[in-house]
């Protein structure tokens, strides 16, 4: 009952409309007459990572043209080694990580200059151990995770230019009295920041800096009566927190501290049964971001028929195993 899909509790419960979600993702790149398609141009590379990863977990890697996607991503790499959100957009650590994640998922790192990617990421590290998102210098624990995650995927954490002990110190400075983490020292605890800080410490084998019972309790407190999870106390439930909270609990071996059947039901009720796709909560419009993190969350909950996902990298577990990172 704990890990089964919701139908073990309630025969009328919705099920995951897998084929409809595959069609929703395939249709994303065809809406070229929608204003939204062009407004989200800056998100294109991130959107490809969200779409590809959802298709991988659904077991349909063939649903998009991999060669065409690789050719597009190659065009997004700048001479500084970073990737922009779209061709000729400024480079950013978020789109650089997304591009690397897709290329590794496709086993096509041969298509890009990996050494230049490493140079770009290393160039974003600051004196205090944090990382900036781009050359404008804005720092956020999210960017530290993107940098460490990317270097780990490229097997380049041993780069002599890095000061990893300082990065760990910076993350620890972002820990709050409630056991959670914020986007910078003194920042309020937020589930997405907990994920990026627990993920960074997991990759750097420094989880001993975390009080797993205290943080596990704060995370389990994110679950509301409707089964959904919020990001902070008093906030509304949102499907993407299924990923930020569950993956953090999974890294701390405490996924069972959440009511899995009730969360499963919440995610399934956020599906759009007409168009496919998953919204941030039931009744809202779906988007590729929440579709990916809803499906990834269901995979962590053991929903039947889904490919296993790695809680640290949010990539298929078999891909992480292929590159030998499944030691944690």
Ligand X SMILES: COc1ccc(S(=O)(=O)N2Cc3cc(C#N)ccc3N(Cc3cncn3C)C[C@H]2Cc2ccccc2)cc1
28 forms part of the interface with ligand X (CB under 6 A): no
- Long-range (24+ apart) CB contacts under 8 A made by 222-227 are 222/191, 223/258, 223/259, 223/262, 223/263, 226/262, 226/266, 227/259, 227/262, 227/263, 227/264, 227/265, 227/266
Half-sphere exposure of 295 (CA within 13 A, CB side): 35
| Distance set, CA 140 to CA 187, 197, 291 (Å) | 10, 10, 25
From the CB of residue 9, how many other CB atoms can be counted at a distance below 10 Å?
13
Cβ of residue 241: shortest distance to ligand X, in angstroms? 8
83 forms part of the interface with ligand X (CB under 6 A): no
131 forms part of the interface with ligand X (CB under 6 A): no
196 forms part of the interface with ligand X (CB under 6 A): no
Cβ of residue 96: shortest distance to ligand X, in angstroms? 12
Nearer to Zn ion, 150 or 288 (CB): 288
Report H helices in 136-272. 141-153, 164-173, 191-203, 212-220, 240-251, 260-269
Choosing from 280, 294, 312, 325, the residue that interacts with ligand X (CB under 6 A) is 280
280 forms part of the interface with Zn ion (CB under 5 A): yes
For residues 290 and 296, the answer to whether their CB atoms sit within 8 Å is no
Cβ of residue 291: shortest distance to ligand X, in angstroms? 8
240 forms part of the interface with ligand X (CB under 6 A): yes
Nearer to ligand X, 5 or 140 (CB): 140
How many positions of this chain bind ligand X (CB under 6 A)?
9
94 forms part of the interface with ligand X (CB under 6 A): yes
215 forms part of the interface with Zn ion (CB under 5 A): no
Residues that bind Zn ion (CB under 5 A): 238, 240, 280
Residues that bind ligand X (CB under 6 A): 43, 46, 94, 238, 240, 280, 287-289
């Amino acid at each position: 009952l704990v890990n089964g899909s919701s139908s073990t509790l309630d025969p009328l419960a919705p099920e995951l409309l897998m084929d409809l979600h595959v069609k929703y993702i395939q249709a994303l790149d065809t809406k070229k007459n929608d204003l939204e398609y062009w407004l989200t141009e800056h998100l294109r590379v991130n959107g490809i990572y969200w779409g590809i990863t959802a298709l991988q977990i659904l077991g349909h890697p063939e649903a998009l043209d991999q060669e065409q996607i690789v050719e597009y991503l190659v065009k997004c790499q700048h001479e500084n080694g970073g990737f922009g959100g779209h061709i000729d957009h400024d480079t950013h650590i978020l789109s650089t990580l997304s591009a690397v994640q897709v290329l590794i998922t496709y086993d096509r790192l041969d298509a890009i200059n990996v050494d230049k990617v490493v140079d770009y990421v290393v160039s974003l590290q600051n004196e205090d151990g944090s990382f900036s998102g781009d050359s404008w210098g804005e720092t956020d624990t999210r960017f530290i995770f993107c940098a460490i995650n990317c270097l780990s995927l490229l097997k380049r954490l041993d780069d002599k230019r890095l000061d990893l002990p300082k990065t760990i110190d910076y993350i620890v400075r972002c820990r709050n009295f409630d056991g959670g983490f914020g986007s910078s020292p003194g920042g309020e605890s937020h589930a997405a920041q907990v994920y990026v800080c627990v993920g960074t410490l997991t990759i750097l084998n420094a989880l001993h800096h975390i009080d797993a019972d205290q943080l596990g309790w704060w995370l389990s407190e994110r679950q509301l009566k409707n089964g959904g999870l919020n990001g902070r106390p008093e906030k509304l439930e949102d499907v993407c927190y299924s990923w930020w909270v569950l993956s953090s609990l999974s890294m701390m071996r405490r996924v069972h501290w959440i009511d899995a059947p009730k969360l499963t039901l919440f995610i399934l009720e956020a599906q759009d049964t007409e168009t496919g796709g998953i919204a941030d909560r039931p009744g809202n419009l779906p988007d590729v971001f929440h579709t990916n993190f809803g499906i990834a969350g269901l995979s962590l909950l053991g929903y039947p028929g889904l490919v296993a996902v790695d809680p640290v990298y949010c990539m298929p577990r078999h891909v992480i195993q292929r590159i030998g990172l499944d030691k944690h």
